[in-house]
Chain A
Amino acid sequence: QKEVEQNSGPLSVPEGAIASLNCTYSDRGSQSFFWYRQYSGKSPELIMFIYSNGDKEDGRFTAQLNKASQYVSLLIRDSQPSDSATYLCAVKDTGRRALTFGSGTRLQVQP
């Protein structure tokens, strides 16, 4: 069974710090990786996706992918209290459109 593992947290960082969120996956054939943010009581919303090894930056967010280690991470620079949410890592299943989600990491940014 395909698995996506995340530390449930909470991860607590002070405002202005870098938050580092990590995710490992079991399906070595996976090609596409996504980070979703979910505020309490709301639906998940896409922050970033990444397909190639290395880093991908979008504003304060950087996604990092290491396929050899089956590892994906999300860095949030200059963390703000509004970044406090649960971050879901998702992996596109090989050969189909479905995503397998991790259980999420709850991030708390302290003012």
Chain B
Amino acid sequence: DAGVIQSPRHEVTEMGQEVTLRCKPISGHDYLFWYRQTMMRGLELLIYFNNNVPIDDSGMPEDRFSAKMPNASFSTLKIQPSEPRDSAVYFCASTAGGGPAYNEQFFGPGTRLTVL
């Protein structure tokens, strides 16, 4: 398996522009997570999906952020409009459902976002 795939790997944009990050989870995984990592705040959960349905979006910082999962193999995280404080590494992770033994989350390589 190719693992969790994210694109783009790097994104540089100007303040006010729309940014779309993409994620393809591991095939067969029914949970998908979006995280943001910064030096100041560490690794923070933004939102997670189960079977394509958003379960908890309490970590989404504000209305400028939105996430979708139209099918089991694709998810997007959109920021509109982007601001310099959104600069971070955004990780997507996936895991298979089941008991506690299946809670290992596999992370994608991340998207490094820089908003100028």
In the bound complex, how far is the Cα of B45 from the Cα of A104, in angstroms? 15
Using Cβ atoms and an 8 Å threshold, which residues of chain A touch B110? 43
- Contact A46–B104 (Cβ < 8 Å): yes
In the bound complex, how far is the Cα of B103 from the Cα of A100, in angstroms? 13
Using Cβ atoms and an 8 Å threshold, which residues of chain A touch B48? 97-98
Assuming the contacts A43-B91, A96-B56, A98-B33, asked whether A88 and B103 have C-beta atoms less than 8 A apart, the reply is: no
Within 8 A of B (CB), among A16-31: 31
In the bound complex, how far is the Cα of B59 from the Cα of A100, in angstroms? 11
Within 8 A of A (CB), among B31-61: 31, 33, 42-45, 48, 50, 55-56
Using Cβ atoms and an 8 Å threshold, which residues of chain B touch A103? 42
- Against A, the Cβ 8 Å flags (1 = close, 0 = not) of B90-116 are 010001010010011111111000000
In the bound complex, how far is the Cα of B107 from the Cα of A42, in angstroms? 10
Using Cβ atoms and an 8 Å threshold, which residues of chain A touch B43? 44, 88, 101, 104
Query: Which B positions have Cβ atoms within 8 angstroms of A?
Result: 31, 33, 42-45, 48, 50, 55-56, 91, 95, 97, 100, 103-110
Which of B31, B43, B95, B106 is packed against the most chain A CB atoms within 10 Å? B43
Nearest chain B CB to A42 CB, angstrom units: 8
Assuming the contacts A44-B43, A97-B31, A97-B95, asked whether A49 and B104 have C-beta atoms less than 8 A apart, the reply is: yes
- Contact A43–B109 (Cβ < 8 Å): yes
In the bound complex, how far is the Cα of B105 from the Cα of A49, in angstroms? 11
- Contact B104–A31 (Cβ < 8 Å): no
Which of A88, A92, A97, A100 is packed against the most chain B CB atoms within 10 Å? A97
Assuming the contacts A43-B110, A97-B31, A98-B56, asked whether A49 and B103 have C-beta atoms less than 8 A apart, the reply is: yes
Using Cβ atoms and an 8 Å threshold, which residues of chain A touch B103? 32, 34, 49, 92, 97, 99
* Pairs A–B under 8 Å by Cβ, sample size 29: A31-B100, A32-B100, A32-B103, A34-B104, A43-B91, A43-B107, A43-B108, A43-B109, A44-B43, A44-B91, A46-B104, A51-B100, A88-B43, A92-B100, A96-B55, A97-B31, A97-B48, A97-B50, A97-B97, A97-B103, A98-B45, A98-B48, A99-B105, A100-B45, A101-B43, A101-B44, A102-B42, A103-B42, A104-B43
